[in-house]
Amino acid sequence: MTERLTSAASARVSAVRDAFRAGTTKPLAWRLRQLGALRRMLVEQGDALEGALATDLAKSPTESQMSEIGVVMGEIDNTIRHLRRWLRPKRVSVPLAVAPATARVVREPLGVVLVIGPWNYPVQLALVPLAGALAAGNAVVLKPSELAPATSALLARLLPHYLDPSAIAVIEGGVEETTELLTEKFDHIFFTGNARVGRIVAKAAAEHLTPVTLELGGKSPVYVHEDADPVSTADRLVFGKFLNAGQTCVAPDYVLATPETARRLLPHLRDAVTRLYGNNPQASRDFGRIVNDRQFARLSGLLHGVRPDIGGRTDPTTRYIEPTIVDGVGLDSPLMREEIFGPILPIVHVSGADHAIEVISTREKPLALYLFTTSRALVRRFLRDTSSGAFGVSIPAAHLLVPGLPFGGVGESGIGRYHGEFSIDTFSHSKAVLSKPSRPDTLKLIYPPFTAKRDAFIRLFIARTGHRRESER
């Protein structure tokens, strides 16, 4: 069922909770059925999803399959393959103080999860967390982004036909509806968007002590070292940056390079833009458009007074911004004050790796950091001296295609992680379970009253236990 958030929608949230309390979502068979049905929807409704994404973001069918539908299918396939193993209780050893006993960690679903999806990848970034929450045995309320209205409406129509509508609700709406929805008590809130709204979500969640996963963003930097191959570096930077017209949270936001490295790289970047999008990217069916007029105006404003080295043309009638690269940008430039989230790539000159690390480390921690080099020592140094949600060596953005890697930010770029088994961790509670037989009752040795004899025994036991742990290190 799909509805605007009214008293009826609030009742729908309650109904989803009732389904969870009734145990509907907990059996493994139910979880696998939902995942299989979600996958079937992606296959059977692929054309419709491609059409909605083209309407909202001018994505080509191939890009929609690669970066949206295919990512979700890969996540579902990996989860189905491993879910039974992921859900097995994990045995842990017990100390001598409570032996004989058995201890294990059991994953249990949290309850009702609210997933708030973004507009830039409105299929992938709504359905991957949805799949993870269902795999963990939760009921789910999904709120698609109103800024991708065609995709939101399609998901709202399709999901109730493929998934169990008693335990999964889709609620559409804008800021007012989302604000009201956040007054409901959930067991977990999963939000993808910017840090400003993330703070609003976290504040609302705090009213109910609800845990949150915040997938935010930030200015993901790239350092191109002097030993990097300029041709492959340019190809990968252009692909990673201008995919979805730059509206990607893990897209390279700015490049750090020495003036000489930047000079060598620029002609290859120009050639790469032409190879990928032709002499006139505006005519390319593979280059998307900015999502709405407000975002177009913001991005166009960043180019005021700027002389791009590559690109720079805009067309407000179609919300087109040409793949644009600006060399020699200062750290105080408007291009460096906020996440660009569009097809503009500034290059900032640094004196070398030391300077690049200093620039990165004095700014907010990014969602991703990319290093182009052949030096293993430099890779180790960046890993040691910088902090980021993810780290890519000579490849941007592709880490989210690996189901076994966690996806998430750190600091300003986010809280929490998901994908693969990390989704099960996020949407589950790891319950500690200890079982001790009533016979023999060894605990009598430590019960009060603490006689001199018992006190001596306890002190000797603690000393020997501590000594054994030291020797095992």
- What three-state secondary structure class fits 164? coil
Higher pLDDT, 470 or 134: 134
The first and second tokens of residue 216, run together, are 């935010």
Residue 3 has pLDDT above 50, yes or no: no
pLDDT of residue 4: 45
The answer to whether residues 133 and 191 touch, using CB atoms and an 8 Å cutoff, is: no
Residue 190, C-beta contacts closer than 8 angstroms, at least 6 positions apart: 113, 114, 115, 116, 129, 133, 212, 213, 215, 416, 418, 426
Task: Output the CA–CA distances (angstroms, integers) from residue 465 to 101, 113, 441, 445, 468, in the order listed.
Answer: 17, 43, 20, 16, 5
pLDDT of residue 472: 59
pLDDT of residue 7: 66
* Mean pLDDT to the nearest integer, 429-452: 90
The answer to whether residues 181 and 143 touch, using CB atoms and an 8 Å cutoff, is: yes
pLDDT of residue 457: 86
| Interval 255-301: pLDDT, tens | 999 999 999 999 999 999 999 999 999 999 999 999 999 999 999 99
Residue 329 has pLDDT above 70, yes or no: yes
Residue 5 — pLDDT band, cuts 50, 70, 90?
Answer: very low
Half-sphere exposure of 267 (CA within 13 A, CB side): 3
The answer to whether residues 123 and 151 touch, using CB atoms and an 8 Å cutoff, is: yes
* Mean pLDDT to the nearest integer, 54-81: 97
Q: CA–CA separation, 39 vs 358, rounded Å?
A: 45
Q: What percent of the chain has pLDDT over 90?
A: 89
The amino acid at residue 355 is H
* Mean pLDDT to the nearest integer, 66-90: 97
Residue 440 — pLDDT band, cuts 50, 70, 90?
Answer: confident
Residue 126 has pLDDT above 80, yes or no: yes
What is the number of other CB atoms lying within 10 angstroms of the CB of residue 116? 24
Residue 6 has pLDDT above 60, yes or no: no
Residue 467 has pLDDT above 70, yes or no: no
Higher pLDDT, 149 or 5: 149
The first and second tokens of residue 118, run together, are 């973004």
pLDDT of residue 468: 58
* Mean pLDDT to the nearest integer, 429-438: 95
- What three-state secondary structure class fits 449? coil
Q: CA–CA separation, 110 vs 188, rounded Å?
A: 7
| Interval 182-229: pLDDT, tens | 999 999 999 999 999 999 999 999 999 999 999 999 999 999 999 999
The first and second tokens of residue 64, run together, are 């929609």
The first and second tokens of residue 122, run together, are 């409105």
| Interval 355-407: pLDDT, tens | 999 999 999 999 999 999 999 999 999 999 999 999 999 999 999 999 899 99
pLDDT of residue 407: 97
Residue 466 has pLDDT above 80, yes or no: no
SS (H, E, C) 346-386: EEEECCCHHHHHHHHHCCCCCCCEEEECCCHHHHHHHHHHC
Mean pLDDT, the chain, as a whole number?
Answer: 95
Chain centroid to Cα 128, Å, comes to 9
pLDDT of residue 172: 94
Known catalytic residues? 215, 249
The answer to whether residues 216 and 409 touch, using CB atoms and an 8 Å cutoff, is: yes
Residue 232 — pLDDT band, cuts 50, 70, 90?
Answer: very high
